[in-house]
Structure 1
Amino acid sequence: MSRVVRAGELAETVRFETMPREGCIGEWRRTIGDQSLKYVSVQFMRSALAYEAQIKANGGHASVVRKALKAALKTSQRASETGGQPKLALRSSLRPGTHLVREWNGRTYQVEVLEDGFRMDGKRYRSLSAIAKKITDAHWSGPRFFGLG
């Protein structure tokens, strides 16, 4: 199903394509919030800002998305109030075929979720932590490295 893209909407999303890092950070803070952006790539910020502009131009998120976001926020707030971290059930939340993307030292890594593990660069791994170790040559929590926990 295709939809008509209005000129104003197109201009709004295109303006992010060449926006410098400082501009992206300012726009991010105005539209998304004051989270730390120290490790967020410029390309990711540009994509996220363009996406948010499209959502705004089309009337906002669907109600089911708003409910899911509110539930995730409540879980996160509850965990921070008790001093813990919200836990994700990786097996149930990562379906086979899902692709995880992580930029590290100027290179983009893509990991495919399999039924019994993960695949990166044609090689199978049992865990995300093993992949994070391969990428960084340091011990990392794999879910944390890929932004999942």
Structure 2
Amino acid sequence: MERRSGSRKPIGRRLMGLSMEDEIAHLRSLDLLSLHARWQSVVGRPAPEHLPKHLLFGILAYRIQADALGDLDAATVQLLKRAATVRSLSEVLPLVSAQDQRKQAMVPGTVLTREWNGQLHRVMAVEGGFAFEGKTFDSLSGIAFAITGTNWNGPRFFGLRAGNGKGVQP
């Protein structure tokens, strides 16, 4: 997540001098009237009357975390706005897929695993490529070929795109 700049007033840790975790724990202990008061002090206007306690808590807790850790980046906000206007899931999937592919840059140290023919294969992202069995490869497709002996789309083989594959391990 990237921190977005804007005019939103920070809440949570800076407002009460508490850690993010302590501030959220404090919110959890508030009753509905206290959550309304907290909302008023943070947002500067009354909380929507129709929001139940769990939603008031959730929105305020989200803001605390976003202020501390960074909010959604602009591309994700745009994706969510576009997804809210579509009528079916089949219209959302291409939007999400395009967003996922833009965020596929691997951070060095990321480990990918894939089981193939009963054997577990581990690949680590490194500067300039991917390390596999003591060698550095330029692409995941090259590693998929080394494992299977056939041409594969590397990101698909490792579960980074729709299709076969097992996925990413933190």
The alignment's TM-score, normalised by the length of structure 1, stands at 0.44
Question: Which of structures 1 and 2 has the larger relative contact order (alpha carbons within 8 angstroms, sep 6+)?
Answer: 2
- Max radius of gyration: which structure? 2
